[in-house]
Amino acid sequence: MSFETILLQTDGPVLTLTINRPRQLNALNSQVLTELSQALREVDARPEVRAVILTGAGDRAFVAGADIAEMAGFSPSEALEFAGRGHRLMDQIAQLPQPVLAAVNGFALGGGTELALACDLIYASQKARFGQPEVTLGVMPGFGGTQRLPRLIGPARAAEMILGGEQISAEEALRMGLVLAVLPPDELLPHCRQVAARIASRAPLAVRAAKRALRQVQEQPLAAGCALEQRLFSELFSTADQREGMAAFLAKRPAQFVGK
């Protein structure tokens, strides 16, 4: 499948998905939302892909936000449809079986921050800037920012970012727990590839089950999440990878996982 606004690059079991609108700072318009969704469906159908890296083209922006030029003339009903598409895309990323790493290489504003929040792990370049500036435009976050951001950094910090509309640096994002590490620009993608390769080397069915259980932290009460964890844990004992992993451990040799 070919795309106009998305680039796909595979390196063994790791797939890098790049939003490719550098002149528009990789802003999310309707075409990008559609092609991202199509690309994610393709990734979902490829079991050989065990980890995904999401980033933006160029050296200025991860995603500078939703495309204001497209949004400016929306009616309320058009805005509702656009927000719905954005929410469905973020849910699609969050529910993708493979872990998704955000490599935030520049501006991640509005929809850019929301896109990163839908990922499992967020790493940032020293040049990255985060923010939910929607209130400076007369609107509010529409792709999940008011819901995912408080769950990650806490309600008060999220309120400060969303209600004030100010940008924060990568270092400040690190201090508040929004990102896991801040790296020099030329080290960001290599670091993400290293982390993704390490994840991809683990038992894929176990990684997918663990991601599913981790996501329930945000969506279910503790008791329901623990019940899901128990069920997924027990189901893995019917897999060849579980037998191989434990046999390899006991034999003191590297495990050879096959995803079955």
Report pLDDT digits (tens) over 155-173: 999 999 999 999 999 999 9
Pairing relationship of beta strands 129-131 and 107-109 according to DSSP bridges:
parallel
Catalytic site includes residue 114: yes
Q: Which CATH superfamily is domain 204-251 in?
A: Lyase 2-enoyl-coa Hydratase, Chain  A, domain 2 (1.10.12.10)
pLDDT-above-70 percentage for the chain: 100
Q: 46-64, pLDDT tens digit by residue? A: 999 999 999 999 999 999 9
- For 178, what's the count of Cα atoms within 13 Å in the CB-facing half-sphere? 31
The reported pLDDT for the residue numbered 43 is 94
The reported pLDDT for the residue numbered 193 is 98
Could you tell me which CATH number the domain at 6-200 has? 3.90.226.10
Does residue 137 carry a pLDDT above 80?
yes
For residue 108, give the 3-state DSSP assignment: strand
Does residue 222 carry a pLDDT above 80?
no
161, two tokens: 């970012």
* Mean pLDDT along residues 175-180: 98
Kindly indicate the confidence band of residue 229, based on its pLDDT and cuts at 50, 70 and 90: confident
Domain boundaries, the chain: 6-200, 204-251
Q: 11-32, pLDDT tens digit by residue? A: 999 999 999 999 999 999 999 9
**8: which strand partners?**
17
Kindly indicate the confidence band of residue 216, based on its pLDDT and cuts at 50, 70 and 90: confident
The reported pLDDT for the residue numbered 1 is 66
Residue 188, judged by CB atoms within 10 A of its CB (0-12, 13-18, 19+), counts as buried
* Average pLDDT for the chain: 94
The reported pLDDT for the residue numbered 46 is 93
Does residue 197 carry a pLDDT above 80?
yes
* Mean pLDDT along residues 240-246: 91
Q: Do 200 and 51 meet the contact criterion of CB atoms below 8 Å apart?
A: yes
For residue 165, give the 3-state DSSP assignment: coil
What's the whole-model pTM score?
0.92
CA 130/CA 115 separation, integer angstroms: 11
CA 212/CA 215 separation, integer angstroms: 5
Residue 255, judged by CB atoms within 10 A of its CB (0-12, 13-18, 19+), counts as middle
32-45 exposure pattern, b = at least 16 Cβ within 10 A, e = fewer: bbebbeebbeebee
35, 48, 81, 114: which one is catalytic? 114
CA 52/CA 25 separation, integer angstroms: 21
Q: 76-116, pLDDT tens digit by residue? A: 999 999 999 999 999 999 999 999 999 999 999 999 999 99
How far is C-alpha 20 from the geometric centre of its chain's CA atoms?
17
H helices of the chain, in order, are 30-44, 68-71, 76-95, 111-117, 145-153, 155-164, 170-175, 185-200, 204-215, 222-235, 240-251
Catalytic site includes residue 78: no
4, 42, 134, 219: which one is catalytic? 134
For residue 85, give the 3-state DSSP assignment: helix
